[in-house]
């Protein structure tokens, strides 16, 4: 498989130039100018070419909840949004607490062949909050554990799991929520749980990744831990930098105040935020009407982040590439996220001048649930290329 992309503005975390990119046998083989190859050529003058995006936080609902989403529709949604790698949460049915379920998801994704999928395994067996013996049975392919959708209630169990994660070199992805406090105050719930999870991670010495950070206070706990040298990383979701609590839409954690949004943007600019995590959470219309939290996010993530962060003048495209591609790929131990020789030939061609209106009915995902429906953003995906193969094209 060979492909040559000519005349694009090539941007990653540390490069910005006009040139050509040649991908052969799945990897980036050559970068330069006026390259000539006897293979498929894409004329990309006027477009931006970036490393394809990597999502640390998605829900594909397969197995067991495929009326919301499945591996195929989730994969199609991903490439439509410029993503070629996703990390799936374990809140499926059954809960992914064993290698059998892990293998089911990964093998199905491989057969579909659109994106690379990593399946997260639950911290506690079946999300019941007590048993962690299943962690001893995980093989080296598992990179992350998480009870996302809920936090681990017992601090003792969480500490034991984090110590096990340290031994096995696993990333503990923390859904910071004290469920006893959530009905009282969702902000307090997130803040208390974030402080607890970071404190436990410090003691255990593990790598803790704080998911979907949404408040000033939670972000400050993370910054302090980072300053102290602990292995703490974090993500921010696109909807938490584009929307505020003035919009009545249920996500978990909740949409916050304008001051929180501006602070999260400042922390992205200052380098405290490691990645953008979409928290792609597709639901049926009926489930959403019954109060299911979450939104469909893979197909709108780039345009939202480009518009709210780059177009608004807060950060550069290089920085956006760092938090949407390079950093999440490094956390996932994938050789992606850079325009560099020998890296995976996963790239996305973008039309940054294109302003378009989001139409949820045109999503590739089964989930049409988004408060962004009808809003306008800049930056449209023209083509998504994985390993030198075009897996999505808008034309």
Q: How far is CA 380 from the centre of its chain?
A: 18
The length of the chain in residues reads 395
The C-alpha atoms of residue 3 and residue 72 are separated, in whole angstroms, by 25
The C-alpha atoms of residue 193 and residue 178 are separated, in whole angstroms, by 5
Strand 2-11 versus strand 48-51 pairing type: parallel
The C-alpha atoms of residue 348 and residue 393 are separated, in whole angstroms, by 10
Residues forming the active site: 279
Query: CB-based contacts of 207: which residues, under 8 Å, 6+ apart?
Result: 165, 170, 171, 172, 201, 231, 232, 233
3 state SS of 367: coil
Output phi, psi for 356, to 5 deg.
-140, 160
Question: Are 339 and 28 a contacting pair, CB within 8 Å?
Answer: yes
Q: What order do you get walking across the sheet with 232-236 strand by strand? A: 144-146, 171-174, 207-210, 232-236, 275-276
């Amino acid at each position: 498989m060979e492909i040559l992309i000519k005349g694009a503005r090539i941007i990653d975390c540390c490069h910005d130039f006009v040139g050509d990119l040649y991908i052969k046998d799945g990897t980036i083989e050559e970068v330069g100018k006026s390259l000539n190859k006897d293979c498929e050529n894409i004329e990309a003058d006027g477009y931006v070419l970036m490393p394809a995006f990597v999502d640390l936080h998605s829900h594909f609902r397969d197995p067991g909840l495929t009326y919301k989403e499945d591996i195929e529709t989730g994969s199609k949604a991903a490439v439509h949004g410029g993503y070629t790698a996703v990390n799936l949460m374990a809140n499926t049915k059954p809960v992914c607490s064993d290698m059998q379920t892990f293998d089911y998801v990964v093998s199905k994704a491989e057969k579909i062949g659109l994106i690379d999928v990593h399946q997260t395994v639950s911290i506690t067996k079946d999300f019941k909050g007590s048993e962690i013996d299943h962690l001893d049975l995980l093989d080296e392919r598992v990179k992350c554990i998480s009870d996302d959708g809920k936090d681990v209630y017992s601090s003792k169990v969480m500490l034991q799991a984090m110590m096990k994660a340290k031994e096995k070199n696993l990333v503990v992805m923390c859904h910071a929520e004290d469920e006893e406090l959530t009905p009282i105050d969702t902000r307090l719930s997130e803040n208390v749980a974030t402080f607890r999870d970071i404190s436990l991670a410090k003691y255990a010495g593990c790598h803790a990744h704080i998911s979907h950070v949404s408040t000033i206070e939670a972000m400050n706990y993370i910054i302090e831990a980072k300053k102290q040298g602990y292995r703490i990383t974090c993500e921010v979701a696109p909807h938490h930098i584009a929307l505020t609590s003035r919009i009545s839409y249920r996500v978990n954690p909740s949409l916050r105040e304008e001051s929180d949004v501006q602070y999260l943007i400042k922390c992205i600019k200052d380098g405290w935020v490691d990645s953008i995590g979409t928290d792609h959470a597709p639901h049926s219309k009926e489930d959403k009407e019954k109060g299911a939290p979450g939104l469909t996010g893979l197909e709108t993530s780039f345009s939202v982040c480009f518009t709210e962060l780059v177009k608004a003048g807060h950060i550069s495209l290089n920085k956006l590439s760092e938090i949407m591609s390079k950093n999440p790929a490094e956390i996932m131990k994938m050789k992606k996220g850079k325009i560099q020789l020998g890296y995976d030939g996963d790239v996305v061609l973008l039309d940054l001048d294109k302003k378009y209106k989001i139409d949820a009915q045109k999503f590739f995902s089964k989930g049409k649930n988004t408060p962004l429906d009808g809003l306008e953003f800049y930056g449209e995906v023209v083509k998504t290329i994985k390993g030198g193969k075009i897996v999505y094209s808008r034309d």
